[in-house]
């Protein structure tokens, strides 16, 4: 077991939900590694309410830090249905497309179809998003929509890193294997 995984396991086992407030604080540090570690530990705990409360406070304060987007992504990963309204508030403060992709990805994980439409538009039609294709593909990964899968297949021809996204989608939806062009059949098993 990796050192990082052992640390997360230890935090969760020894402190349980009592560690949530401190882990939420760590989520909003400026250190990416600390934020990621905190996020991974919070995924194993019942932390939705604490994350939403802190995110609301951050939005109200006018502070704009990377922790907001770690929290948004985490709420999507945790499938916190009470977080949709808060995530829409986060959308009001995004400063660039990268941040918007994270928030729309979280909304998609929560079943918001509007998020899928936005991300699909960015994938297919926005010429300025070429360097963000992988980020958009990852955000679209939870989709069960065959049209989204086909759009990612099309973009994977120009961005081979998207093959990993296709792999995850095929694993979750075996019927998608049938939609793969022959050139991807060997890469995705």
Radius of gyration of the chain (CA): 18
Burial class from Cβ neighbours inside 10 Å (0-12, 13-18, 19+) for residue 33 reads: exposed
State the pLDDT at residue 107. Answer: 98
pTM of the model: 0.89
Q: Is the confidence at residue 59, as pLDDT, over 90?
A: yes
Q: Determine contact, residues 129/104, Cβ cutoff 8 Å.
A: no
Q: Tell me the pLDDT of the chain averaged across its residues.
A: 90
**pLDDT bucket at 64, cuts 50 / 70 / 90:** confident
User: Which element (helix H / strand E) includes 1?
Assistant: none
Q: Which of 8-17, 63-72, 121-130 has the highest mean pLDDT?
A: 63-72
What is the tens place of the pLDDT at every residue in 29-46?
878 888 888 898 899 888
Q: Is the confidence at residue 166, as pLDDT, over 80?
A: yes
Domain boundaries, the chain: 1-93, 112-189
């Amino acid at each position: 077991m990796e050192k990082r995984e052992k640390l997360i396991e230890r935090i969760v086992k020894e402190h349980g939900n009592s560690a949530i407030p401190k882990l939420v604080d760590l989520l909003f540090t400026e250190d990416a590694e600390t934020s990621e570690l905190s996020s991974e530990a919070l995924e194993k705990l019942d932390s939705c309410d604490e994350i939403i409360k802190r995110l609301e406070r951050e939005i109200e304060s006018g502070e704009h830090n990377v922790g907001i987007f770690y929290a948004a992504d985490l709420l999507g990963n945790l499938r916190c249905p009470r977080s949709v309204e808060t995530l829409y508030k986060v959308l009001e403060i995004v400063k660039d497309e990268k941040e918007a992709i994270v928030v729309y990805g979280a909304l998609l994980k929560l079943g918001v179809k509007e998020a899928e439409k936005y991300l699909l538009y960015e994938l297919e039609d926005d010429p300025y998003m070429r360097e963000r294709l992988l980020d958009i593909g990852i955000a679209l990964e939870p989709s069960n929509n065959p049209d989204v899968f086909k759009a990612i297949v099309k973009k994977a021809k120009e961005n081979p890193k998207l093959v990993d996204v296709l792999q995850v989608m095929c694993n979750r939806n075996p019927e998608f294997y049938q939609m793969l062009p022959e050139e991807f059949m060997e890469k995705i098993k």
